[in-house]
Amino acid sequence: MAKQTPPQAAYPATRLRRLRQKDWSRRLTQETLLSVNDLIWPLFVIDGNGDNQPIQSMPGVERRTIKTVLQACEDASNIGIPLISLFPYTDNTLRSDDGIEATNTENLICRTVRAIKSEFPDLGVMCDVALDPYTSHGHDGLLDSSGRVMNDATVDVLVAQSLSLAEAGCDIIAPSDMMDGRVGAIRQGLEDKHFHDTLIMSYAVKYASSLYGPFREAVGSGARLVGDKKTYQMNPANTDESIREATLDVAEGADMLLIKPGLPYLDIVSRIKQACSVPTFSYQVSGEYAMIKAAAQNQWIEEDSVILESLISFKRAGCDGVLTYFAPNAAKLLKRH
């Protein structure tokens, strides 16, 4: 076999550093753009009229009363964040094995949605649909006598929860429970009640990750969790399964898809974006946030630069937007750039 002749080196005709020499040329040739329009701000809500409650494992993040949620919504509107996402901290007296408080049209989240829509009708509001903030056992669904999460019975409750939220004025229903068939059932329920324009952003691919600990502290479900969630959340080792999950959710009526966690799963984001061709989002989850904050507080990294670099990586992988606790910080940083 004839010896292959190696291609001639492009250097010095091609010097890739030429385009990197000046700020204007770096900006002109930047392939991936991040803007405030890409940001979704998760907010934790607590009942009452007292002060905000700091979340120890998430420095800078607090549980907010409805009054201070409205202040955050004013900030979001002023800096251009298009969408906020609500998560409740439910009082222990309202938690139960069946999580029925989730369906209460006067529960904390429904009251919060109505308050937001009354003052900020043009701000998008997304609500989590799952039972873990409402159950005494910390699971996303109902348990049978053996402790197994029951799929179909749970879906019935999730539909009722979704309808309560839609009635309150929620713009986007976001089921994060990972029950089979719940997107189709929620879509049908919304259609039957004439909520034709209510969007569904499905947590289509939610892995059984170890990065959710601070979030579970924030909503009060971590300490009460019985066992783990591996029978319904995805195995972190699987990729092909994610395409099946996402494809099914689109077929069932999801308008948008979400992958969770974020940075360790950007390969999944890229695959799903290419396979499904629908608006695709990811969640920079509480553990990711906590790691960045901890490293910054120890002066191991420069926080502002890492915030923007991490969010650009989501966009580069194919995300149309990102749920991130850094949303207000990132929005302010982007205005400076």
Q: What is the DSSP string of 283-320?
A: EE-HHHHHHHHHHHHTTSS-HHHHHHHHHHHHHHHT-S
- Cβ atoms of residues 139 and 175 within 8 Å: no
Is 332 among the residues known to form the active site?
Answer: no
> What whole-number distance in Å separates Cα of residue 68 and Cα of residue 51?
9
Rg (CA), the chain: 22
Burial of 253 (0-12, 13-18, 19+ CB in 10 A): middle
Helix (H) or strand (E) holding 47: none
Quote the CA–CA distance of 250 and 267 in Å, as a whole number. Answer: 19
Active-site hit among 229, 260, 273, 315: 260
Q: In whole angstroms, give the CA distance from residue 205 to residue 176.
A: 9
Clarify whether 193 is annotated catalytic: no
Cis check: omega of the bond before 59, within 30 degrees of 0: no
The identity of residue 95, as a single letter, is R
Structure tokens belonging to residue 106: 């006067």
Q: How far apart are CA 116 and CA 107, in angstroms?
A: 14
Identify the active-site residue in 67, 193, 206, 293: 206
Strands 142-143 and 62-64: unpaired
Cβ–Cβ under 8 Å, residues 172 and 127: yes
- List residues with catalytic annotation: 206, 260
